[in-house]
């Protein structure tokens, strides 16, 4: 069964915030360092557009990452993501802080993570998701797994599912782009 067919629409209804890890979720998990110690990350523009669309559907987006990177802060700013916590090695605490900032509960969140560090936060959220190439322990706990790898469309696929589940497809996607859910694989 494809990820499109298995997406938990009922569980995703009413989600207020999408919480995303960075390395392995918003990127392929590669970190390139220059001779000056500057970090380079590659982000997928389709994932970025999915984030913009899910925001237009009224769902906040947050980034919760264990690493610290200026690049991530720039990407979050570029996408209008106001909730950003970097350097969080205890992501359950980071999730608690994000939810306090947003005035919501973890049960109002969907989470996409790819490694064991994500599990404590992920398990507190209503919808637990992962890219197809996540660590085996994360795949075991995820309630939905994208057909796509991290950094290669997993976030986009999740955003589309959230838009569909929250009855925003027509206003956010179809009216703007003349694209039906079926056109996108749903």
What pLDDT, in 10s, does the model give residues 36-64?
988 999 999 999 999 999 999 999 999 99
Per-residue pLDDT at 1: 78
pTM for the structure as a whole: 0.97
What pLDDT, in 10s, does the model give residues 109-146?
999 999 999 999 999 999 999 999 999 999 999 999 99
What pLDDT, in 10s, does the model give residues 89-115?
999 999 999 999 999 999 999 999 999
Task: Choose among 56, 55, 60, 128: nearest CA to 91.
Answer: 128
Every domain of the chain and the residues it spans: 8-179
d(Cα 183, Cα 186) in Å, to the nearest integer? 7
Q: Tell me the three state secondary structure of residue 39.
A: strand
DSSP 88-153: -SSHHHHHHHHHHHHT--GGGEEEE--SGGGHHHHTTSSEEEE-TTS-HHHHHH-SEE-SSPTTTT
- Span 72-97, average pLDDT: 98
**How is domain 8-179 classified at the CATH fold level?**
Rossmann fold (3.40.50)
């Amino acid at each position: 069964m494809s990820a499109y067919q298995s997406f938990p629409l009922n569980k995703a209804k009413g989600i207020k915030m999408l919480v995303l890890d960075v390395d392995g979720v918003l990127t392929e998990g590669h970190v390139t360092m220059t001779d000056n110690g500057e970090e380079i990350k590659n982000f997928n523009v389709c994932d970025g557009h999915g984030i913009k669309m899910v925001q237009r559907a009224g769902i906040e987006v947050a980034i919760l990452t264990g690493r610290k990177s200026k690049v991530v802060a720039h990407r979050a700013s570029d996408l209008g993501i106001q909730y950003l916590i970097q350097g969080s090695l205890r992501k359950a605490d980071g999730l608690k802080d994000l939810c306090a900032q947003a005035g919501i509960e973890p049960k109002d969140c969907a989470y996409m993570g790819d490694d064991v560090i994500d599990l404590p936060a992920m398990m507190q959220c209503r919808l637990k998701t992962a890219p197809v190439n996540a660590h085996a322990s994360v795949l075991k706990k995820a309630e939905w797994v994208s057909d796509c790898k991290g950094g290669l469309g997993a976030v986009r696929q999740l955003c589309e599912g959230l838009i569909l589940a929250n009855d925003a497809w027509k206003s956010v996607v179809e009216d703007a782009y003349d694209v039906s859910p079926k056109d996108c694989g749903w």
